[in-house]
Amino acid sequence: MADLQNDRFLKALLREPVDRTPVWMMRQAGRYLPEYRATRAQAGSFMDLCRNKELACEVTLQPLERYPLDAAILFSDILTIPDAMGLGLRFAQGEGPVFDKPLRTQADVDKLYVPDMGSDLGYVMDAVSTIRTALNGKVPLIGFSGSPWTLATYMVEGGSSKTFAIIKAMMFDEPKMLHQILDVLADSVIAYLNAQIQAGAQAVQIFDTWGGVLTPRDYNEFSLRYMAKIVDGLIKEYDGRKVPCILFTKGGGQWLEAMADTGADALGLDWTMNIDEARARVGNRVALQGNMDPAVLYASPERIRQEVGSILAAYGKGTGHIFNLGHGIHPEIKPEHAEAFIKAVVELSPQYHS
């Protein structure tokens, strides 16, 4: 395997010195890029795109051909695990993911099992190794998974939700049943991320998109505890290099200290907190990734550059910051605005590193 030509992302995750702040964008391969929409049309459906290693590789590399990004992220989805558990995933036009067989009864839950990383999810590992080979050491490859709580919201609700009515009723009335779901998911995520690492992922991120809808007590019991179990079960070093792990709880700003206690290397920040305060709170324990409001990309390139400048200044001097948006890039963003964002990080950040 070729040596890594650009390792500033991996170094910053481990709080080692870098020449400038590394940058990548959540959802960097996606619908805001016309070339993504073309490949997606060629694949047929979104899941067909995920299952085709050549096309999944092609869309992973698309943003890297346009922009000087410091990492690639596997093109796939967090819902591959529940799909592999036989819940009948489909992406309905305009309404997002739908599960035909949501988890509602104890009998549904008793049927759950840890999917086989070869026969059920081998297509994801094939995509990882195809992408890693195609990158040829240009930048590191990020693998990812959803958190058990976030995956469970889709599996129990049967799709996206605004109120989380069904899963929260289960959490209050049938906590044991929910814990049973979360346990199988945590074991599945450990096996899934470790298989991605063995296939070539050089860092991993756990997306806890919906942890922030919980009370502090419920966050600890139903989300953080399972992420801590995952961090504990991950391969820490592979192929002679540390494999850093990033925890991202959207809306989790008030829990950074507890998140750092899991042993994760880095925490993802959304845009609802100041990065200088976050840094003061976590000190040298973890790196921080984020935290620009993705809606800034609707503004002019000049205004985008100004916002990048103020986040860099707020973080201040030294390593341990990976620039990113506070959540995924929206599909309506103009590619030139994403470019202005990334260029601003490249041009304005060296002064914060010596």
What the block records as the tokens of 321 is 């910051």
If one asks whether residue 315 binds ligand CP3 (CB under 6 A), the answer comes out as no
Q: Is 234 helix (H, G, I), strand (E, B) or coil?
A: coil
CB of 74 vs ligand CP3, minimal distance in Å: 6
| 27 has catalytic annotation | yes
DSSP string covering 184-200: HHHHHHHHHHHHHHHHT
Nearer Cβ to ligand CP3, position 80 or 319?
80
In whole angstroms, the minimum distance from the beta carbon of 298 to ligand CP3 comes to 17
Residue of 27, 37, 66, 305 marked catalytic:
27
- By beta carbon distance, the residue nearest ligand CP3 is 209
DSSP H/E element including 178: helix 175-199
Active site residue 285: no
330 within 8 A of 32, measured Cβ to Cβ: yes
Q: Is residue 30 a contact point for ligand CP3 (CB under 6 A)? A: yes
Binding mask 147-186 for ligand CP3 (x = CB under 6 A): -------------x--------------------------
In which element (H, E) is residue 275 found?
Answer: helix 275-282
Please tell me the distance from the alpha carbon of residue 37 to that of residue 331, in angstroms, as a whole number: 10
Q: How far is the CB of 97 from ligand CP3 (least distance, A)?
A: 5
Q: Name the CA dihedral angle for 54, 56, 60, 65, rounded to a multiple of 10 degrees.
A: 40
- Whether the ω angle into residue 291 lies within 30 degrees of 0, i.e. cis, is yes
β-sheet bridge partners, residue 325: 292
Does residue 127 belong to the site contacting ligand CP3 (CB under 6 A)? Answer: no
Among 9, 67, 99, 207, binds ligand CP3 (CB under 6 A): 207
Q: Is 209 marked within a binding site?
A: yes
Specify the DSSP class assigned to residue 115. Answer: P
Which one of 31, 104, 225, 305 is the catalytic residue? 31
Query: 330 labelled as ligand-binding?
Result: no
Annotation says 154 is catalytic: yes
Could you give the dihedral angle defined by the CA atoms of residues 99, 157, 231 and 254, in that order, rounded to the nearest 10 degrees? 140
**Residues between 51 and 110 that touch ligand CP3 (CB under 6 A):** 73, 75, 77-79, 96-97
Which residues are at the interface with ligand CP3 (CB under 6 A)?
26-31, 40, 46, 73, 75, 77-79, 96-97, 144, 160, 207, 209, 328
